[in-house]
């Protein structure tokens, strides 16, 4: 009986290999020598399906025309098909635990009616037909499906003798039980685009830009608008945008249309080196929006780095936060996320002098929490000194001028416009800042030719009554 079962199993596998393409059917053997395999089953759809899932902090809703395949993984017991059914598991990105249980129940019923017969091909047809029947909804919440799969930690077996397919072989597993809603959405959308692209490539289309008619292989269709352009025109538009760094503005070229290009469409439209730039810029811009991931500050590395959580420490002046520390897993550089320099612990961040004005404005105009965070980052005394220095510089700029020779700041409190620098003994005009040379420095104010300071010796001087009396 063992030899007969082995022969029937080999015959069944050969038959399946002749029916399915290599990308739809694969086999190997488990460690104990049993045949193991995976059948990819495409499920036909008669209407569009609306999918929702949480992507970051928002919920994303998309419509698809094709659902990703159901994967039927099996292991053949030594007494199959004479006595025991195959061990089997079903998985798909859109399949929840209740639908899996119902499909496995249908497979069990089919085995009960056909004990002793090879059933793998028939099972694949049952899954294909019944999955389409069970899919009676037009909307799927993929987060709900992910949660239901997590709650159902084990596969539901067919009857008592039909157990989960063993995973001890080398065949890649297609299990989707641990996928998040966002991952499921990505898988389904990628598959939907792949199928639509294959169908699209069989036709001929007119480009909406150059009006030439080209095959689907040399055209792109945007979703969900359906506008079609030749790849040559799309390449010209996308190339300019990517070179300018506008990787989030790769939209349909129809006027006022906001359909976005998918990464797969960008890959088809532009050369490999531009696509690499697109991926790099897109990753960088995405990381900029994430609060817990930064890019390694070393120019030769630039790898994504996960930040450590801020740590509050106590001190004489109360608690303060240690700056977020991060260690690059690729180059092992440990740095402060605030200043992007080597990690300095409790020592305040050093700031760029060119950013003093911006930092000061942020500190002076910020609320209590903003000021607390800046003080934790740069130190309260350092910021207060910065404020005082800035105010002093501002006052000096308004109320003083620099000596035209030694450039020391000089304040004019009263007196005429002939000034004397006590540092370098230079005489100069306060109005035009010209150095006064010659034996008579007042000649500058008495000469009507070649100067705007004629008769301006006391220009701007506020005289009190005593000064008038003296005159």
- Tell me if 342 sits within 8 A of 335, measured CB to CB: yes
Q: Is 94 exposed, middle or buried (0-12, 13-18, 19+ CB in 10 A)?
A: buried
- State yes or no: is 339 an active-site residue: no
- Tell me if 115 sits within 8 A of 80, measured CB to CB: no
| Closest to 311 in 3D by CA, of 326, 294, 296, 331 | 326
Residue 88: inside a domain? yes
Give Cα 94 to chain centroid, integer Å.
24
Give the residue ranges of DSSP H helices in 244-271: 263-269
Question: Same domain for 152 and 177?
Answer: yes
The structure's pTM equals 0.56
Q: How confident is the model at residue 177 (pLDDT cuts 50, 70, 90)?
A: low
Full domain range(s) for residue 214: 201-288
Of the residues 365, 393, 421, which one is the last residue of a structural domain? 393
Distance of alpha carbon 148 from alpha carbon 159, whole angstroms = 21
Question: Same domain for 48 and 182?
Answer: yes
Residue 185: inside a domain? yes
| Total structural domains within the chain | 4
Question: Same domain for 237 and 251?
Answer: yes
| 38-85 confidence digits (pLDDT tens) | 999 998 887 888 999 988 778 899 889 899 999 999 999 999 999 999
Given 257, 301, 349, 416, which residue is catalytic?
416
| 349-394 confidence digits (pLDDT tens) | 776 666 667 777 778 788 888 887 777 666 677 777 777 777 777 7
What sign for the dihedral angle of Cα 19, 20, 25, 29? Answer: positive
Pairing of strands 139-141, 49-55: parallel
| 260-292 confidence digits (pLDDT tens) | 998 989 999 999 999 999 998 888 777 777 767
Q: Is 52 exposed, middle or buried (0-12, 13-18, 19+ CB in 10 A)?
A: middle
Backbone Cα Rg of the chain: 38
Question: Same domain for 164 and 122?
Answer: yes
Question: Same domain for 377 and 274?
Answer: no
Residue 87: which CATH number?
A: 3.10.110.10
Residue 18: inside a domain? yes
Of the residues 369, 393, 417, which one is the last residue of a structural domain? 393
Question: Same domain for 259 and 298?
Answer: no
Residue 398: inside a domain? no
């Amino acid at each position: 009986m063992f030899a007969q079962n082995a022969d029937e199993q080999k015959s069944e596998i050969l038959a399946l290999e002749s029916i399915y393409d290599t990308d739809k059917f694969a086999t190997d053997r488990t460690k104990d020598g049993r045949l193991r395999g995976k059948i990819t089953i495409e499920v036909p759809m008669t209407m569009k399906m609306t999918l929702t899932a949480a992507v970051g902090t928002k919920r994303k809703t998309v419509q698809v025309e094709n659902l990703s395949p159901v994967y039927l993984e099996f292991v053949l017991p030594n007494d199959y098909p004479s006595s025991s059914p195959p061990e089997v598991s079903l998985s798909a990105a859109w399949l929840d635990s209740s639908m899996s249980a119902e499909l496995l129940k249908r497979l069990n019923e089919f085995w009960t009616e056909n004990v002793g017969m090879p059933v793998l091909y028939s099972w694949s047809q049952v899954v294909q037909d019944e999955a389409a029947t069970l899919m009676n909804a037009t909307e799927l919440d993929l987060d709900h499906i992910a949660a239901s799969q997590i709650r159902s930690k084990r596969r539901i077996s067919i009857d008592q003798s039909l157990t989960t397919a063993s995973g001890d072989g080398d065949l890649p597993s297609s299990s989707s039980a641990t996928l998040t809603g966002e991952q499921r959405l990505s898988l389904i959308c990628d598959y939907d685009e792949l199928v639509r692209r294959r169908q699209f490539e069989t036709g001929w289309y007119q480009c909406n830009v150059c009006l030439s008619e080209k095959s689907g292989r040399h055209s792109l269709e945007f979703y969900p608008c359906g506008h079609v352009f030749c790849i040559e025109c799309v390449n010209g538009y996308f190339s300019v945008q990517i070179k300018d760094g506008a990787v989030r503005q790769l939209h349909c070229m129809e006027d006022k249309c906001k359909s976005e290009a998918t990464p797969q469409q960008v890959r088809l439209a532009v050369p490999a080196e531009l696509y690499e730039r697109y991926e790099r810029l897109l990753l960088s811009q995405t990381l900029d929006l994430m609060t817990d991931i930064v890019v390694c500050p070393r120019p030769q590395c630039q790898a994504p780095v996960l930040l450590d959580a801020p740590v509050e420490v106590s001190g004489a002046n109360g608690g303060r936060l240690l700056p977020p520390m991060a260690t690059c897993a690729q180059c092992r550089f440990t740095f402060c996320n605030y200043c992007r320099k080597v990690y300095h612990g409790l020592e305040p961040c050093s700031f760029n002098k060119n950013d003093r004005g911006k930092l000061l404005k942020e500190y002076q105009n910020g609320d209590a929490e903003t000021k607390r965070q800046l003080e934790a980052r740069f130190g309260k005394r350092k910021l207060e000194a910065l404020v005082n220095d800035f105010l002093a510089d501002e006052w000096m700029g308004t109320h003083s001028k620099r000596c035209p020779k030694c450039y020391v700041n000089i304040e004019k409190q009263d007196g005429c416009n002939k000034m004397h620098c006590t540092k370098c003994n230079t005489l100069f005009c306060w109005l035009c800042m010209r150095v006064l040379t010659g034996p008579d420095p007042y000649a500058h104010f008495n000469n009507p030719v070649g100067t705007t300071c004629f008769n301006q010796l006391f220009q701007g001087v506020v005289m009190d009554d005593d000064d008038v009396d003296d005159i």
